[in-house]
Amino acid sequence: MSDPTNPLDWAEYAENDWEAAKLLFKGKKPSTTVTCYHAQQSAEKYLKAMLVAKKVDFPKTHDLSTINMICNNNGIFTGFSTESLTILTDHAVTARYPGDMPTIEDAKESLEIAKAVRKFARQWLGIK
């Protein structure tokens, strides 16, 4: 059973989303919608893991810019741009429903942004 007050449990869930995003992007016909969704979910959970580690409450939101602002306001200076986090945030909902399907380039960009968040969070949390 996982513990929502344990940052390492949050990181484990984030890592599962990260692995899913990478796996779903491989192959002859990558699933761009699900790749983008899981990339966003990974970044979101990694940001929240750091807040949990600092015992900082946060709202139930998928808005990475908001979560990042809370990080910065609590001494976790990530350096992520609002623009890149907004790109990823948009995939929390839009990639899940019919409409503008993310392109291969959108999926690549989402993976790169999530990778940067992952790298920062894992280093900050002391995870190798």
Q: What single-letter DSSP state applies at residue 40?
A: H
Q: How confident is the model at residue 1 (pLDDT cuts 50, 70, 90)?
A: confident
* Structural domain contains residue 77: yes
Residue 97 pLDDT: 80
**Does residue 103 fall inside a structural domain?**
yes
pLDDT tens, 7-45? 999 999 999 999 999 999 998 899 999 999 999 999 999
Give first-to-last CA distance, the chain, whole Å. 23
Domain region containing 85:
7-125
The count of domains in the chain is 1
- 48: CATH: 1.20.120.330
Q: What is the pTM of this model?
A: 0.95
* DSSP classification of residue 93: T
Kindly state whether residue 2 falls inside one of the protein's structural domains. no
Residue 112 forms part of a structural domain = yes
Burial 41-57 (b: 16+ CB within 10 A, else e): bbbbbbbbbbbbbeeee
Query: Hey, what amino acid is at 36?
Result: C
pLDDT tens figures, 58-84: 999 999 999 999 999 999 999 999 999
Instruction: Identify whether 95 is part of a domain.
Output: yes
